[in-house]
Chains A and B, each alone.
Chain A
Amino acid sequence: MVTQQKQVRDLQEGGYVMMDGAACKITHYSTAKPGKHGSAKARVEGKGVFDDKKRSFSQPVDAKIRVPIIERKQGQVISVESDSVAQVMDLDTYETITISTPSDADLSPEDSIEYLEMEGQRKII
């Protein structure tokens, strides 16, 4: 999996982090100030980018953590196959891909969309 290493202190809300092997978007980041002894700890909550599952962890702020490299791509809808699946052409590579669509999306052919891609997993945003 394409990831890079960071320290927990460098994470921020809205960014990405690996939790339990899944790429997650950080929804909540807070640090506990240390007492007289001990080191500061961070608490991170996230939501799976591709599975929407909520996850969280607490780690010392100087712990190392993996951050996924997620590509943000542009595409154009070619056809809408059903309420949950669409054919999309990537506007960089002109490759045609099948992608599942969010339940609240109202897509039509020729719509321009943005999507996230990581190791064959894709999600329209």
Chain B
Amino acid sequence: MFPGASAPREDAEYVVVGAPLDVSTSFQPGTRFGPDRIRTFAETFDDYDGRTDLHFSDLAVHDQGDIHTWNDVPDYIKHLSGVLRDVAWDDAVPLLLGGEHTVSAAGVRATDPDLFVTIDAHLDLREAYDGDEWSHACVTRRVLETAEEAIVVGARTGSEAEWERAAAGDVTVVPPEEVGGWLRAIADGERDPFSRKSTYLSVDIDGADPAFAPGTGTMEPFGLTSREMCGVVRAVAPHSIGCDVVEVNDRDDGQAAALGGKLLRAFVYERAAAQQDR
């Protein structure tokens, strides 16, 4: 169980679902261990958050456990999206723990947002990778079949065709060096990318610089600091109808999992605080 996620399912406002999919990881596998790593390395976090004056265990979070995976990825995504749709139909917020990034497609199908915001080192805009359109390298492209728009925060690499696709009007790329300015513009009210748009937030842990989160499949240097990632999560959380943390594997000493777990908690605290203020 994710620490503090002790609310009964019927009372839950947030439901944690693990999706340990590990089929298309193209370099270092291990995302099958992601959900449990995140749960384990969240155990040391304090229940109380001084910033929002909230206790995590008071925020009606339930952990539904993992949805056992199998190799037929489209079939699994279909099933997972159904499980998450139940959460959304109950007016709760799905909190998905990956697993490879492909699982975000299920979160998006279940919540049907206008806008997909993802922290990611990679554009993930390929039509197919090695002939597989359900590869984790294609997830933002798959998501854009449901969501109208995508913002890829921290992207710093992609194929030539992906950068061409990213130049279309429905994709915004915020490169790592511009994230600070982007967040300031949102805080100052000069920019409001989420205004009146239902938003789904996906945190690919490889958006972080590998120095912060080495436990991921395809490390990409020159990434975000963990504090910048937290800033993005806090900015997006109040507008979000779903969230995931993906691409955490077991090839480090828990850095990636600890960061993933902390960002998930930051999401819940920030969203809950915003709900209380409304």
Interface membership of B145, Cβ < 8 A: no
The residues of A that contact B82 with a CB separation of less than 8 Å are 28, 30, 43, 45, 56
Give chain B's interface residue range (CB within 8 Å of chain A).
10 to 19
Interface membership of B27, Cβ < 8 A: no
Q: Scoring A residues 39 to 51 as 1 if CB is less than 8 Å from chain B, else 0, what string do you get?
A: 0000101000000
The residues of B that contact A56 with a CB separation of less than 8 Å are 82, 85-86, 89
Give chain A's interface residue range (CB within 8 Å of chain B).
10 to 19
Identify the stretch in B67-75, B123-131, B195-203, B229-237 within 8 Å (CB) of chain A at 4 or more residues. B67-75
- Which B74-95 residues have a C-beta within 8 angstroms of A? 75, 78-79, 82-83, 85-86, 89
- Which A48-81 residues have a C-beta within 8 angstroms of B? 54, 56
Partner of A33, one of B68, B83, B85, B89: B68
Q: Do most interface residues of chain B lie in helix, strand or loop, or is the interface mixed?
A: helix
In Å, the complex CA distance between A53 and B82 comes to 16
The residues of B that contact A34 with a CB separation of less than 8 Å are 68
The residues of B that contact A120 with a CB separation of less than 8 Å are none
User: Which of B78, B82, B89 gathers most chain A CB within 10 Å?
Assistant: B82
The residues of A that contact B68 with a CB separation of less than 8 Å are 32-35
Cross-chain pairs A/B with CB under 8 angstroms, 25 sampled? A28-B78, A28-B82, A28-B85, A30-B75, A30-B78, A30-B79, A30-B82, A31-B79, A32-B67, A32-B68, A32-B79, A33-B68, A33-B70, A34-B68, A35-B68, A43-B79, A43-B82, A43-B83, A45-B82, A45-B85, A54-B89, A56-B82, A56-B85, A56-B86, A56-B89
